[in-house]
Structure 1
Amino acid sequence: MDVSKALLLLKEKGYKYTDKREQMLQLFSNEKRYIAAKDVLEAMQKDYPGLSFDTIYRNLSTFVELGILEMTELDGEKKFRFSCSTDQHHHHMICLTCGKTRHVHVCPMDQLKVSSEDFKIVDHKFEVYGYCKNCS
């Protein structure tokens, strides 16, 4: 995902363009890692002093619903990043210090013999947490 695709998707889904949304998306484009809502608020406070945490969080939730952002939980806090632009099925290794990610192209679901008549799997998530070379 990139900023222009994200803005186009928002427009297609009936959301208005705002400078705040574009700046928020640009922040994710520049960071290329998981970041918390408080980090987004802090980065945008200079340009928008009256911006509330609720406004940030509401927009982040909308971005996740639309598939623009991915969300994970690290240290009890929800963190967000741009959705991967690859269509290839993969999972992530996530650095607990800096939030950077690497793709993992092996899926543990392939090893599981899951079949059930009373449960239909529609999605799954696999994340590995540790420390990148720069942070360890």
Structure 2
Amino acid sequence: MKYDLSIAEAMELLKEKGFKHTEKRKDLLTLFANEKRYLSAKEVQDGLKEQYPGLSFDTIYRNLTTFVDLGLLEETEWEGERKFRFTCSHNEHHHHLICLTCGSTKSIQTCPMEVLNNELNGFDITGHKFEIYGYCRECR
């Protein structure tokens, strides 16, 4: 089953959780919804600098962390940098191929946990994350 979380729904969730509705938050979420790829905090700052020339990294990271905690953004790390993207429009279990150049992602349905289950020897798994990094067709 798929769902598409709109910016309005995301802003309503923020309000329900006690966060003020601000244009900065709305514009930040809109940037991610439009980009449909992983972005660093620097890319977020660059994307919003015309509208908000004084927007600090602290403000960006604080909001990005809040959005991840609320499930509005997904987070990963590569090359020592945290990157963020709008949450997938899936609620079924899946993983990602991630382009190291442009940050685009592609969902994959294969899960390595299906193969590993026989080797877990009673280890109680509470969660996992599987990402494959490389280069998309356009960036090769």
> What TM-score do you get using the length of structure 1 for normalisation?
0.93
2:45 to 23, 41, 52: 41
Structure 1 position 120, deviation (Å): 3.0
Letter in 2 for 1:69: L
Secondary structure in 1 matching 2:96: strand
Question: Is structure 2 residue 58 aligned with structure 1 residue 54?
Answer: yes
- Aligned-residue CA RMSD in angstroms? 1.1
Unpaired runs of 5+ residues, structure 2, are none
Aligned equivalents of 1:102 and 1:109: distance in 2?
19
Aligned equivalents of 1:131 and 1:72: distance in 2?
16
Question: Is structure 2 residue 120 aligned with structure 1 residue 135?
Answer: no
Aligned equivalents of 2:99 and 2:26: distance in 1?
27
Would you identify which runs of 4 or more consecutive aligned residues in structure 1 move more than 3 Å? none
- State the aligned residue count: 134
Bigger mean CA deviation after superposition, 43-52 or 26-35 = 43-52
1:90 to 78, 91, 94: 94
Letter in 2 for 1:99: G
> What TM-score do you get using the length of structure 2 for normalisation?
0.91
Structure 1 position 69, deviation (Å): 0.3
